[in-house]
Amino acid sequence: MTRELTAPRAAITRPRRPLIARNAVFARAWAAQLLSQSATRMYQMGALWWLLGQVATGDRGLASGLFLVCAALPPVAFAPLVARTIAAHPSRTVLGVAVLGGAVLMAVLAAYGVLADVPTLAVYPAMFGLAACQALFDPCLTKAIPELVEDDDIEDATAFEQSSYSLVGMAGALFGAVLVDWIGLTGVVLVSAAAYLGAAVFVATVRPRPQPVDGDDGVEAGILGAWRLLAGLPFVRLALICFAAANFFITATFVILPLYTKNVLHAPALTLGMLEGALWLGLLIGVFTGKHLRGHPAFIGSGCVALFGLAVAVPALTAQRGVVLVALAVAGWAVGATNVVFVAAFQRAVPTAAKAAFFSAMLALLGAGFPVAAFFFGLAGDLVPTQALFLVQTAGLLPIAAVLALRGHSAPIP
């Protein structure tokens, strides 16, 4: 009799299934995030394009700028309130309120649109309301990750959660652009309402594990402590200042591209969706490839900021759509790669106990410039040619890149 040689059972390893295949609770929460973000993004794209068609040519810049201010202001203005809310209430309750609020808001606007024409001014408070709902949902889901997955799955869950921004940025831009030309603004609002209702259904099936809830005093003290911490981290402080300044010019791209599509290319909404989709695709690629970049973070960051500035100068010089698409993808890659490199550097530099408060403060600082940029570049879009706005971005970003390279190299990294 021959004896079969078999490997011990412990030595047999099987490929680990993706997190969303192993953890149905997290999969449903992530699906709710995708649906809610898609609803917001579709409405933003569809309403913005509809708005540009409603106002006179000389008012398009200001109209679109104010609309994007409504989209960007809630996460910044309501940050302290959101922090207290998600700290004081169960995650499932907060997530449910956020998606139901978005569903009700879109349903009311859709009902009005079916009965009569949607007033031009109505799209502004609707955008503000949706952004407020999303500003409540996203950080709450981030906080709820330890309640949804095991400790060794937190990194995978975070990767899924963060990837949704790029995925929705691409898909939402394209779907919103296609739908507004196909079924009009009211149709886009109806689709958004359905997406929010779908998100509410998924949230209703999520059962997070309760976690200890800290008081809001600790949250506020932690944020103040994070700012005081920067005094001992000169490189981190320099990087945050430079990127806050750079973000003012970078986020202006979302104000300029609709004007560029409408005023320069004279193209349909689908073209705008493709332009923004190229930017988000590049960002997604940068997120996954940025970790392979080697060198001092200051040089990498300055190089990427300069690359973005040079890339957005291309649409100012040519209207060839293929060239512009490639340039925007390169610009997106620069942003994605920079995010990966510097978040990793911050993770190593900031003490563990201060990380949560530090990253909350970091997001608030980086996001604060978008409402100002939306208003400034939107107003400027009515006063100067659209192509000149790209050159303003370039002129603003190149000096910031130089400062980061020259000052950052001498600042010690803990």
| Domain containing residue 273 | 214-414
Considering the domain architecture, whether residues 225 and 207 belong to the same structural domain is answered as no
Encode pLDDT of 80-101 as tens digits. Answer: 788 788 878 888 899 999 999 9
Burial class from Cβ neighbours inside 10 Å (0-12, 13-18, 19+) for residue 326 reads: middle
Point out the domain boundary residue: 211, 236, 260: 211
Considering the domain architecture, whether residues 369 and 284 belong to the same structural domain is answered as yes
Point out the domain boundary residue: 170, 187, 211: 211
4 within some domain: no
Considering the domain architecture, whether residues 193 and 272 belong to the same structural domain is answered as no
Considering the domain architecture, whether residues 178 and 270 belong to the same structural domain is answered as no
- Tell me which range, 5-14, 138-147, 159-168, 225-234, is most confidently predicted by mean pLDDT: 138-147
Q: What does the alpha-carbon distance between residue 368 and residue 370 come to, in Å, rounded to a whole number?
A: 6
- Determine if the pTM surpasses 0.85: no
Q: What does the alpha-carbon distance between residue 103 and residue 47 come to, in Å, rounded to a whole number?
A: 16
Considering the domain architecture, whether residues 165 and 237 belong to the same structural domain is answered as no
CATH at 206: 1.20.1250.20
Q: Is the pLDDT of residue 148 over 90?
A: no
Indicate the number of domains in the chain.
2
Point out the domain boundary residue: 178, 211, 244: 211
For residue 98, the 8-state DSSP code is H
82 within some domain: yes
Considering the domain architecture, whether residues 201 and 218 belong to the same structural domain is answered as no
How far is the CA of 163 from the CAs of 44, 157, 159, 240, 260, in angstroms? 19, 10, 6, 22, 28
Spell out the residues 6+ positions from residue 331 whose beta carbon is closer than 8 angstroms to its own: 253, 279, 282, 307, 308, 311, 312
2 within some domain: no
**What's the whole-number average pLDDT of the chain?**
83
For residue 410, the 8-state DSSP code is T
Q: What does the alpha-carbon distance between residue 117 and residue 300 come to, in Å, rounded to a whole number?
A: 50
Considering the domain architecture, whether residues 154 and 227 belong to the same structural domain is answered as no
Considering the domain architecture, whether residues 347 and 392 belong to the same structural domain is answered as yes
Encode pLDDT of 277-328 as tens digits. Answer: 899 899 888 877 877 788 788 888 899 999 999 999 999 999 999 999 999 9
52 within some domain: yes
Q: Is the pLDDT of residue 138 over 60?
A: yes
